[in-house]
Amino acid sequence: MLRRSVGAIELRDVRRLFRATTGTLRRHTKEIVALDGLSLDVGEGELFGILGPNGAGKTTTIKVLTTLLIPTSGTATVMGLDVVRDAKEVRRKIGFVFGGERGLYYRLSGRDNLRYFAELYAVPPREIRSRVEELLDLVDLRPRGDERVEGYSRGMKQRLHLARTLLHRPRVLFLDEPTIGLDPIGARELRRIVRQLHEGGATIVLTTHYLFEADELCDRIAVIDKGRAVALGTPADLKSNVSDLSVVELEVFGIDAGTVERLRALDFVDSIVVEQRELRQVLRVQTRIAERAVAPLIAAVAAGQVGRVAVREATLEDAYVRLVGRVE
Amino acid sequence: MTAALRLAVQSAWVDFQEVAVNGFLLFGAVWQPFFIGVTTMYMLRHRADFDPMYVIVGTALSGIFSTLLFAGSGAISHERWIGTLELLVASPASFFLVIGGRLAGTTVFSLLSLLLAYGIAALLFGYPIAIAEPGWFAISLLFAVAALWATGMFFAPLAILWRAVGHFLLGLEYPIFALSGLLFPILLLPGWTAPISNILPPYWAAVAMHGAARGDLDLPGLLRAWFFLFLTGGALLLIAKWLFERVLTRARRAGTLALS
């Protein structure tokens, strides 16, 4: 479902610099560029994904848009309001969830946490009780609402965060890696709620490291790297960038860096990624000639080091790897 | 009840539930005054001029001040540690009001030290508890806790803006006890310390509460103490308001609200 109409979010040439100090006795300050002239538009009602490697600027982008950071230069607006000048108004219209367990009062119950945050967002007193119950239902926490948060599982805390951010019926939601660290069932449940909110008309900006999640949920995706947008489009658009490629996956054992470099130098190899899985490694080789590439690839690895071999179509993850050139 | 008052009361209630199980603040509000009260009464009880009320008020104020010193200087960093600071700052609510409410909860909790001080005198040492001017004492207590709450509000942004100052503040606990006459009369101190005492809210709190409890301060004297509590507390609160703005602006510029 793609519902782009008026701009809910606009970023124009946003730069954000941070100062970092190094050294103990002789201290030096250096500037780190977190956002380097980033420009993006998100339409109202859109579910927009931001992908990128660690340090690419995803969280900085979210923090600028949620008024927690002032851009060094450039402008950012949410629902037509400037995030620097109209910060207080912006805050009334947005909700946000940062991934992880922190950000709740652990000695209070889930229900009391929601009541308190409802006060912070000036939810009318006569609505607070019903709104809290409604949201506890939405995130399936009502039966455990009176328990202290310190006894909640990570998934429950994350669902409570989502309920917390919906208390004041925000028009724009920012979800920064909301499924990080959740077990598969917890993550699936959270994705179900996100989809439900999107269907209800909310504008959602989602950052994630899970590419299948972005593929499954997002209307459009921006891939950012080193503080700049390197690609923007629907998941299908991004995948079309690798439609000429297939992926050969080789499970190998004890392969060294020299061998990987030898494989990378083969003329039919577009890119290669090594993923460590316990004692084995998985080589993901992007190539235009998958069927004909398998035999030379196996031959290039020492005998007895190759296990399972599979050939598959390129996915959004492969498109991402091609764009940013590395995996995390 | 207006939204702002509701928010302050809710913040106080959240804080009260948290500090009630916080071992560090329990030390400030209960154990430390307990040791101070018992030790002082034990040491001084045989002196001819010994007045238990002096120790009761001093012990109670030391507990209230210590609790607010620790809670105030850790108020913002505590929110940062538990990851709620960004949520509070990015909410439309006034951060000053939120922290103000939280410290009001701590202040109410710190009044435990007053009950404790009376308990020690009455139950452990058998002194009769008699407040000479109960009405004036209640007003003095109200002014005192309000001014000490304002002191806590002053410490909160100060400890964040200048971390070294925050550590230094914690070291000022006993010097402020001494300069405020909480443990012994300030007449025992050199004369040049008097102006310092005069700008400290705990000093005026001690003057008002001692005077009302013992009945040895007339109404003009009490009014003077209340006025200075209002003046010193109000001045600290105004400075605190300005410092809170600086904390928020600086944090948004430097990106220092989160731990990571």
Distance CA A327, CA A316 (A): 13
| pLDDT tens sequence across A266-320 | 888 888 888 887 778 888 888 888 778 888 888 887 766 788 888 888 888 888 8
* Same domain as A167, residue A106: yes
* Same domain as A185, residue A60: yes
Of the listed ranges A62-66, A154-158, A170-174, A314-318, the one predicted with least confidence: A314-318
Q: In what order do the strands lie in the sheet with A81-82?
A: A28-43, A7-22, A73-78, A81-82
Per-residue pLDDT, averaged over A153-163, amounts to 89
Q: Is residue A2 part of a domain?
A: no
Last residue of a domain, one of A215, A240, A265: A240
* Same domain as A56, residue A202: yes
Whichever domain contains A286, its CATH number is: 3.30.70.260
- What is the pLDDT at residue A210? 84
Residues ≥6 apart with Cβ < 8 Å to B106: B15, B16, B19, B25, B67, B68, B71, B72, B152
What values do phi and psi take at B66, rounded to 5? Answer: -60, -45
Q: Which residues of chain A does B14 touch, with a Cβ-Cβ cutoff of 8 Å?
A: 105, 108, 112, 116
- Find out whether A300 and A233 touch, Cβ atoms under 8 Å: no
Residues ≥6 apart with Cβ < 8 Å to A315: A211, A212, A215, A239, A247
Per-residue DSSP letter, A302: P
Test mutation, B14, B25, B247, B259, chain A, max A CBs within 10 A: B14
Q: Give the closest-approach CA distance of B210 to chain A in angstroms.
A: 37
What values do phi and psi take at A249, rounded to 5? Answer: -105, 120
* Same domain as A233, residue A287: no
* Same domain as A256, residue A146: no
**What is the maximum span of chain A, computed from C-alpha positions, in angstroms?**
73
Q: Provide the number of structural domains found in chain A.
A: 2
Test mutation, A72, A102, A164, chain B, max B CBs within 10 A: A102
Distance CA B108, CA B149 (A): 10
* Sequence-ordered alpha helix ranges (H) in B111-218: 112-119, 134-161, 163-171, 173-179, 194-198, 201-214
* Same domain as A251, residue A198: no
* Same domain as A132, residue A146: yes
Q: Is residue A125 part of a domain?
A: yes
**What is the maximum span of chain B, computed from C-alpha positions, in angstroms?**
61
* Same domain as A271, residue A133: no
Of the listed ranges A176-185, A229-238, B194-203, the one predicted with least confidence: A176-185
- Find out whether A44 and A203 touch, Cβ atoms under 8 Å: yes
CA quadruple B246, B248, B253, B257: dihedral positive or negative? positive
Last residue of a domain, one of A240, A270, A291: A240
Domain that holds residue A288: 246-324
**Of the candidates A104, A106, A122, which has its C-beta nearest B92's C-beta?**
A122
Q: Which residues of chain A does B10 touch, with a Cβ-Cβ cutoff of 8 Å?
A: 115-116, 119
- What is the pLDDT at residue B258? 61
- What is the pLDDT at residue A3? 47
Q: Which residues pair with A41 in a beta bridge?
A: A10
What residues of chain B have any CB closer than 8 angstroms to a CB in chain A?
3, 6-7, 10-11, 14, 17-18, 21, 82-84, 86-93, 98, 252-255, 257-258
The answer to whether A105 contacts B86, with C-beta atoms less than 8 Å apart, is no
Distinct helix (H) and strand (E) counts, chain B: 13, 0
* Same domain as A282, residue A133: no
**Of the candidates A100, A103, A125, which has its C-beta nearest B84's C-beta?**
A103
Last residue of a domain, one of A183, A211, A240: A240
Interface confidence, given as ipTM, is 0.84
The answer to whether A107 contacts B17, with C-beta atoms less than 8 Å apart, is yes
Q: Is residue A1 part of a domain?
A: no
| pLDDT tens sequence across A186-210 | 788 888 889 988 998 899 999 988 8
The pairing of strands A172-176 and A203-207 is: parallel
* Same domain as A287, residue A270: yes
pLDDT tops 60 at residue A4: no
- What is the pLDDT at residue A303? 64
* Same domain as A263, residue A169: no
Which parts of chain B have pLDDT scores under 50?
259-260
Q: Which residues of chain A does B253 touch, with a Cβ-Cβ cutoff of 8 Å?
A: 70
Q: Which residues of chain B does A67 touch, with a Cβ-Cβ cutoff of 8 Å?
A: 90, 252
**Of the candidates B6, B17, B90, which has its C-beta nearest A125's C-beta?**
B6
| pLDDT tens sequence across B27-69 | 777 888 888 888 888 888 888 878 888 888 888 999 999 889 9
* Same domain as A276, residue A139: no
